[in-house]
Amino acid sequence: MESSDLQPGPLRRAVNDLVMAEMFLIQATLESASAIGDGVNEFLNQEEDSGESVADALQQLKDSALEPYTSRYQYFREMVGNRR
């Protein structure tokens, strides 16, 4: 099948968007898992007298784990919006 046979109809665009969203999700999940692992290691290795509370450490960990999803979702929405 030649590429000229493939017309960018609405169904094809929807499937392409789904594939791109899945790839962004996988990438964000891997980066988030890495951030969680790094955050847990940092938390376990911190000094007791560092002055950082458990709540502060968990907030930083949450922010680090959530960021890959938010940035990739924003990029995906911009990518999809620019094509239409």
Query: How many angstroms separate the CA atoms of 6 and 15, rounded?
Result: 13
Domain boundaries, the chain: 30-44+52-84
Q: What number is the average pLDDT over the span 13-23?
A: 91
Residues 28-77 have pLDDT tens digits of: 999 999 999 999 998 888 877 777 788 888 899 999 999 999 999 999 98
pTM for this model (two decimals)? 0.72
Cα angle value 56/58/60 (rounded, 5°): 70
Residue type, 44: L
Residue with tokens 């969680």: 36
